[in-house]
């Protein structure tokens, strides 16, 4: 399949479904945190997903190589992947899914800022800068809503989510600006799973007992994360990233926090106030504007 210049109906459908999966995944992570320590959960997820993805890649005869100039970029994205999910899983121990969704899914405008400097022809325009301002205003508004924090460390959890978002953006940019753009989606994800499993499981014991109150339903939810979210969802996202424009894909990023807030409210009965909804709207409008490109492109 050749690289597309714009998002078509197939790509749009896949991105909407992926955004829903991401929003739902944050609820799943928060539930499993009751049974497993968050950092251990993140590392174990990568460890379990790695052999499944490797078997799939071998069966499908995908390009798998560490001698094609992708080794060091692969180590970089693997380290960022480890940091991203350690921070996200920890943050969901502190803050609500709704709030985490807003901060974590600011990733698209971090991508836009990075692309301005790293990707030719993807410069920030005045309208895109306005989008950045609106998105940042939305984040500030959400951070100011601390009258009924989920935990005493809710504010810290919000900030941790922001940092995790920048690491996710770094992965997306590296996938487009290094030799990783010439490797298969499977190899790109295998780098991240292998490095993150090693790094996270090494540091996991420093964050407390690995097992909390583990129940059978925790194991079932965790298994869905391994297969449905990592092996299928993430692989699909990196495949889409190799076929569609990065900026156009990023504009769909607004849907993930919408789904996250909705699922947090529906499943976990999390409060969603007017200020949080207003912040969500500001971030959403900002993301749409920041990923807007002239029609001539």
Report pLDDT digits (tens) over 86-131.
999 999 988 888 888 888 888 877 888 888 888 777 777 888 788 8
36, β-bridge pairs: 211
Residue 150's pLDDT band, with cuts at 50, 70 and 90, is: low
pLDDT at position 108, please? 76
- 2 assigned to some structural domain: no
The per-residue pLDDT of the chain, averaged, comes to 86
Number of structural domains the chain divides into: 1
pLDDT at position 148, please? 47
pLDDT exceeds cutoff 70 at 145: no
* 221 close to 43: Cβ distance less than 8 angstroms: no
- 274 assigned to some structural domain: yes
- 223 assigned to some structural domain: yes
pLDDT exceeds cutoff 60 at 1: no
Q: Give the residue with greater pLDDT, 4 vs 145.
A: 4
Segments of 60-207 assigned E as strands: none
- 295 assigned to some structural domain: no
Task: Tell me, rounded to whole angstroms, the distance of Cα 290 from its chain centroid.
Answer: 18
Q: Give the residue with greater pLDDT, 287 vs 34.
A: 34
Residue with tokens 């992965």: 171
- 296 assigned to some structural domain: no
Q: Biggest alpha carbon distance in the chain? A: 56
- 269 assigned to some structural domain: yes
- 3 assigned to some structural domain: no
Tell me which residue range forms the domain holding 123: 9-290
Quote the CA–CA distance of 42 and 92 in Å, as a whole number: 12
Cα dist. 222→50, 116, 199, 256, 270 in Å? 15, 37, 20, 20, 22
- 262 assigned to some structural domain: yes
């Amino acid at each position: 399949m050749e690289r597309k210049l714009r998002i078509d109906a197939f790509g749009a459908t896949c991105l909407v479904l992926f955004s829903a999966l991401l929003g739902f995944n944050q609820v799943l992570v928060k539930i499993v945190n009751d049974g497993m320590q968050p950092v251990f959960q993140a590392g174990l997820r990568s460890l379990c997903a790695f052999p499944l993805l490797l078997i799939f890649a071998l069966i499908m005869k995908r390009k798998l190589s560490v001698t094609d100039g992708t080794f060091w970029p692969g180590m970089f994205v693997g380290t960022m992947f480890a940091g991203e999910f350690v921070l996200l899983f920890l943050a969901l121990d502190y803050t609500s899914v709704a709030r985490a969704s807003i901060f974590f899914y600011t990733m698209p405008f971090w991508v836009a800022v990075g692309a301005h400097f790293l990707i030719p022809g993807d410069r920030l325009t005045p309208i895109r800068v306005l989008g950045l301002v609106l998105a940042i205003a939305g984040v500030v508004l959400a951070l100011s809503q601390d009258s009924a924090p989920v935990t005493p460390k809710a504010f810290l959890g919000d900030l941790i989510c922001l940092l995790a978002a920048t690491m996710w953006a770094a992965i997306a940019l590296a996938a487009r600006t290094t030799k990783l753009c010439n490797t298969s989606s499977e190899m790109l994800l295998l780098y991240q799973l292998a490095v993150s499993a090693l790094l996270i499981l090494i540091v996991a014991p420093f964050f407390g007992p690995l097992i909390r109150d583990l129940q059978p339903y925790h194991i079932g939810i965790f298994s869905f994360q391994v297969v449905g979210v990592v092996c299928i969802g993430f692989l699909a996202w990196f495949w889409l990233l190799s076929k569609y424009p990065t900026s156009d894909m990023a504009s769909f990023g607004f849907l993930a926090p919408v789904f996250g807030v909705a699922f947090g409210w529906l499943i976990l009965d999390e409060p969603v106030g007017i200020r949080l909804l207003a912040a969500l709207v500001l971030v959403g409008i900002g993301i749409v504007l920041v990923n807007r490109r002239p029609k001539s492109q």
